[in-house]
């Protein structure tokens, strides 16, 4: 839990520092999303090494209204219960009324059986990926999953 909190603080400090250097102010957005995950057909290598590929389709609600499509790769170690994932996700919609698209880069590690908040999670906007009214977007996203599996999010971002 402490490591996850420390990582979140470090990411936010970096984002705030970058925003301050560029004369931008951070905006806090929040909402929820519905997700459909679809496993891809595994390769022999993936089967032999506990690696799974998935596609994701999300519908976003709240301060970001839109959809996203992503590709995720997960890996695990059965003997220790450690797990990790990386993903790229393309977002399309309106962020607080501003239309456009952008890309998130995900990276996470966790232990099997731990609460999602106990692991390390980094979801950041890929630099220069914003289009339309979201050109120049920077920021980081936190994903929260409650006991019933509902996904909510908070997004601290800046725009020029």
Of 17 and 135, the one with more pLDDT: 135
Give me the percent of the chain exceeding a pLDDT of 90: 69
**If you compute the radius of gyration of the chain from its CA atoms, what whole number of angstroms results?**
16
pTM here is: 0.82
Q: Which domain holds residue 113?
A: 2-158
Element (H, E) at 2: helix 2-21
Which conformational region is residue 111 in: left (phi greater than 0), alpha (psi within -120 to 50 degrees), or beta?
beta
Of 117 and 26, the one with more pLDDT: 26
Distance separating alpha carbons of residues 100 and 38, to the nearest angstrom:
26
Q: Look up the CATH number of the domain holding residue 120.
A: 2.40.350.10
Q: What tokens does 92 get?
A: 């399309």
User: What pLDDT score does 80 carry?
Assistant: 83
Q: How many domains does the chain have?
A: 1
Parallel/antiparallel/unpaired status of strands 27-39 and 151-158:
antiparallel
Predicted confidence band of residue 61 (pLDDT cuts 50, 70, 90): very high
91 CB-contact burial (10 Å; exposed 0-12 / middle 13-18 / buried 19+): buried
């Amino acid at each position: 839990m402490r490591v996850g909190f420390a990582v979140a603080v470090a990411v936010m400090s970096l984002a705030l520092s970058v925003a301050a250097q560029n004369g931008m102010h951070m905006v806090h957005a929040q909402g929820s999303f519905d997700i459909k995950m679809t496993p891809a057909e595994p390769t022999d290598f993936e089967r032999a090494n506990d690696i799974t590929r998935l596609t994701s389709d999300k519908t976003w609600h709240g301060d970001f209204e839109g959809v996203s499509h992503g590709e995720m790769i997960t890996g695990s170690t059965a003997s220790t219960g450690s797990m990790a994932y990386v993903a790229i996700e393309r977002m399309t919609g309106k962020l607080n009324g501003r239309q456009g698209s952008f890309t998130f880069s995900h990276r996470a590690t966790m232990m099997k059986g731990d609460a999602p908040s106990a692991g390390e999670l980094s979801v950041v906007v890929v630099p220069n990926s914003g289009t339309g009214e979201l050109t120049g977007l920077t920021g980081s996203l936190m994903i929260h999953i409650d006991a019933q599996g509902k996904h909510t999010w908070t997004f601290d971002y800046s725009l020029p």
